[in-house]
Amino acid sequence: MQRCLVTGGAGFIGSHLSERLLELGHEVTILDDLSTGRRENLNHIENHPRLKIRTGSITDPVLLADVMTKVDVIYHMAAAVGVKLVADDPVRTIQTNIYPTEELLRLAVQRKQRVFIASTSEVYGKNPKERWTEEDDLVFGPTSRPRWAYGCSKAIDEFLALAFHRKFGLPVVIGRFFNVVGPRQVGHYGMVIPRFVDSAMNGGPIVVYDDGQQVRCFGHVREVVDAVIGLVETPAAHGLVYNIGSDFPITIQKLAEEIIQRVDPAVKLQFLPYRDAYGDDFEDVRRRVPDVSRLEKMLGRKPTMTLGAILDDIIRWKREQLSASAKS
C-alpha cells in the first residue's frame, strides 16, 4: 500500500485516477478547490476508508505543504484547463499552472517523493508535423494571443520538473495528455465530446467551430490513468516525458457525425467561426496527433479503445445521468 496525493482529484481525470488508486489498495488524499473539479465526481468513493478529501487551492503554500506530509507519491493533476477558460482568463492560467508546481517539486525533493506532472499536448503549440514525438520542437504563437498561455505555462512546468530531476535526482514523470475523454467529463470549458453529446441529446444543432476539419485523437480515461500509474511505478520511466492518449486521428466534423448517428440522426450540424466562439485573437491548431511509441515501449501497451466504444460508453453514462436526474 502506498500513500498517494492527487491534486485536482475532484476533476475529470483526477477523480478516475483517485478511484483507480483506491482499487489498487492505496491510501489517497485529494486536494481540490472545486473551481473546475466537481464534488459529485467523488460521490461513489467519498466514504471510502482509505480516502481523505481536502478542499482548498494548490496556490496556498501552507495547505500544499500540509497535504504533502506523509505521502509517498504525488500525482499533480491540478491545473487551469480547457480552451475556453484559458482564452477567458490567461492570468489565472499562468498563476495556477506555474508557481504551485515549483513549490510542489521543491517539497518533493526534500521528502524524496515520487511525482507525476500532468502536462498537455498544448505544449507542442502549432508544430506542423503529422505526428508529434516527445523530442519535437515546441512552436508557440505570439504572446499577444492568449491561446498560447496554457501551453507555455505547462512547458515551464516540464522544464522545472526535468531540472529538479537532473539536479536533485527527483523521481518525476511527465505525461502530455491528448484529448482524454470518458464518463464525468463536462463541456463547460470547451471539452468537445461532452459538448457535442449534450447538444445531440437536446435535439441539436451540434455547433462545430471553423470548418470542422481539425484533426484530434481521443483516449479513454481508464486507459490513460492506468498508463499514468504504470509510468510512476516504473523506475526506468522517471526523468522522461511521455505522450499519453490514443493515436487514432479523426476530424471534428466526423466526430460530430459519429455522435449524431448514435444519438439522433435528425440532429443537424452548424458551423461557427472561431472569432464568434472565442474572440478575434483566438488561434487554433489544425492537427494534433501523438506518437505514443515511447509509452508503448516503456509499458508494453498503449491506449487502444476504439472511438466507437468510447462514444458508446460516454453516451450510456450521459443517459444514466439523465435518467437518475429525472427520477429525483
Tell me the catalytic residues: 150
Q: Within a 10 A sphere around the Cβ of 88, how many other Cβ atoms?
A: 15
Q: Within a 10 A sphere around the Cβ of 206, how many other Cβ atoms?
A: 25
Distances (CA, A) of 220 to 229, 245, 283: 15, 8, 26
Q: How far apart are CA 232 and CA 71, in angstroms?
A: 14
Q: Are 72 and 114 a contacting pair, CB within 8 Å?
A: yes
Q: Within a 10 A sphere around the Cβ of 20, how many other Cβ atoms?
A: 17
Q: How far apart are CA 187 and CA 200, in angstroms?
A: 13
Residue found by looking up cell 508546481 in the block: 101
Task: Give the contacts of 323 (CB within 8 A, at least 6 positions apart).
Answer: none
Instruction: Retrieve residue 203's grid coordinates.
Output: 435535439
Q: How far apart are CA 172 and CA 310, in angstroms?
A: 30
| Sign, Cα dihedral of 155, 16, 131, 115 | positive
Can you spell out the DSSP letters for 150-211?
HHHHHHHHHHHHHHHHHHH---EEEEEE--EE-TT--STTS-HHHHHHHHHHTT-PEEEETT
Q: Kindly report the backbone phi and psi dihedral angles of residue 163, in degrees, each rounded to the nearest multiple of 5, phi listed first.
A: -65, -40
Q: Are 18 and 9 a contacting pair, CB within 8 Å?
A: yes
> Residue 276 is which amino acid?
D
Nearest 5°: CA angle at 195, between 304 and 156? 70
